[in-house]
Structure 1
Amino acid sequence: MRLWLALALALAPVAASAAECRDTTFEGASYTLCEVRAGEDLRLFHSGPDGAYGSFRNVDEALGAEGKALGFAMNAGMYHRDLAPVGLYVEDGVEVSKLITSDGPGNFGLLPNGVFCIADGFRVIESRTYKKTKPGCRYATQSGPMLVIGGKLHPKLLADSDSLYVRNGVGVSEDGRRAVFAISNEAVNFHAFARLFRDELGLPDALYFDGNISRLYAPALDRHDGGFPMGPIVGTVVPKG
């Protein structure tokens, strides 16, 4: 009986662990990190039958109808006044808006910018490289600027910049098996935020999502940030408890 039980446990499929969220400090500033590993159900969300979701609550309610729930989530890219994504957005294999490779005003146009891609694993890809290689992303969102590119900080980020905002973004491990989502819990500049990914987390590629409106949903930390409606949202899907 014991042998049978041990064999059954060994052969049983192992469910992917839920995203792990934790608070940390780096160079005196407070951050919250949520780590997702390949195999977890990580998706991008934008619209349902009634239009843009706009909030974590609306996404969670939509998943609830399927017996599922949000495990963690954050805003995942810039958007227009009508909540439409700025730049490339791919959801469940369908391209909703097109890639933008030209430079332009604001943080999005501070080249190089990039794309966060979800496939079998995770990638942060410079936008013009994305255009050339056309990787098969099941989900993708474009934003800018890149924070870390091949282990180097974006060349236009200034260590002494006085542009301070609450910021959020994502970094990806070299093997593409880990994606770490970070949000600052106080105002920081781009350079400090980029160093978090490179120097503290050891991630060679990282992408900025947004600032000032940055928000996080992390039930394990009893955190559900509210505010104005959002555009693209990234989050894990878990069984409803």
Structure 2
Amino acid sequence: MIRALLLTALAAFLTACSGPEEGPCRNQTFESVPYLVCSFDPASDDIRLFLRDETGVPFGQFDRLSNYVAAKGGSLVFAMNAGMYHEDRRPVGLYVEEEQSEMGLVKTPGPGNFGMLPNGVFWIDGGKAGVTETLAYAQQRMDDPPRFATQSGPMLVIDGELHPVLNPDGTSIRRRNGVGVSADGRRVYFVISDAPVNFHSFARLFKDGLGVPNALYLDGAVSKVYAPALERNESGLDMGPIVGVVRETKK
């Protein structure tokens, strides 16, 4: 009886000391660079891609998307720009929303970061998520399209190795954001740097700081994040694809 009481008291003490449960986002410093890292479970968190409303108008800004989600009875708890786009907000590469493809998969090299092969696809489907190199995606998923997918580039980490073109002394220094998925597929990590960083350093965060086997660069110049629990709602240039996490509003 005494032992049981002691164990109960110890458990209560540890619970009190641990404080409130940590939310999905945390600040993390890696190699002296500050990052915001937000992680979600695709089996229990409703991760979606968004581009336009029913009238065909791109959302562009987090406030517009948040209001749209609220009107549908949900709450937008996280969002981030999710891939490169043309001036009219059309995605540069593959984009799938609710199993409907707007753009096809681009498998050839091209200008800019997107064309720095290998690039890849971030996808969400049936409680699972992944980051898959483009040619592997073409073999594995083209006949079985996921619920959501966005193509971007370059890949940052490919099967546990850094993209071979990334240079430790790269001089392109800017704010960046990307996505990686854990080896077991149970955690999706959305990351944005809170200071300028080069590609190689950004990729090492995913490989060595988070330990993910595959990670994809999403963008740089327009990198923005929406994390209302942290009072972060960044604005600026209108975005194309946006990745968001939705929770049902409690009645």
TM-score (norm 2): 0.87
Q: How does 1:206-217 map to 2 (within 5 A)?
A: 206-217=215-226
User: Displacement, 1:136?
Assistant: 3.6
**Residue identity matched to 1:23:** N
Following TM superposition, by how much is the alpha carbon of 1:19 offset from its aligned partner in structure 2, in angstroms?
A: 6.4
- Count of paired positions: 225
| Equivalent position of 1:40 in the other structure | 45
- Bigger Rg, structure 1 or 2: 2
Shift of 1:24: 1.1
Match of 2:111 among 100, 105, 113: 105
- Does residue 128 (structure 1) correspond to residue 132 (structure 2)? The answer is no
Aligned counterpart for 2:160 among listed residues 125, 135, 151:
151
Which of 148, 172, 183 is the aligned partner of 2:181?
Answer: 172
Q: Spell out structure 1 runs of 4+ moving beyond 6 A.
A: none
**Selected match of 2:92 from 54, 70, 86:** 86
Among 20, 33, 54, the alignment partner of 1:29 is 33
Unaligned runs of 5+ in 1: 1-16
* Unaligned ranges ≥5, structure 2: 1-20
Q: 2: CA distance between counterparts of 1:171 and 1:19?
A: 18
Q: 1:22 and 1:160 mapped to 2: Cα distance?
A: 28
Work out the CA distance in 1 between the residues paired with 2:120 and 2:29: 26
Cα deviation code 1:22-74 (max 9, x no counterpart): 11100000100110112210000000123111111111111111211211000
Q: Structure 1 residues 70 and 116, CA, compared in 2 at 3 Å: closer, same or farther?
A: same
- Quote the RMSD (CA, aligned, Å): 1.4
Q: Map of 1:55-74 to 2, 5 A cutoff?
A: 55-74=61-80
What is the percent sequence identity of the aligned residues? 51
In structure 2, give the amino acid aligned to 1:30: P
* Contact 1:19 1:37 (8 Å CA) reproduced: no
Distance 1:18 1:132, change over 3 A: farther
TM-score w.r.t. length of structure 1: 0.91
Corresponding letter in the other structure for 1:72: F
Matched residue type, 2:215: A
Aligned CA distance change for structure 1 residues 52 and 19 (closer, same or farther; 3 Å): farther
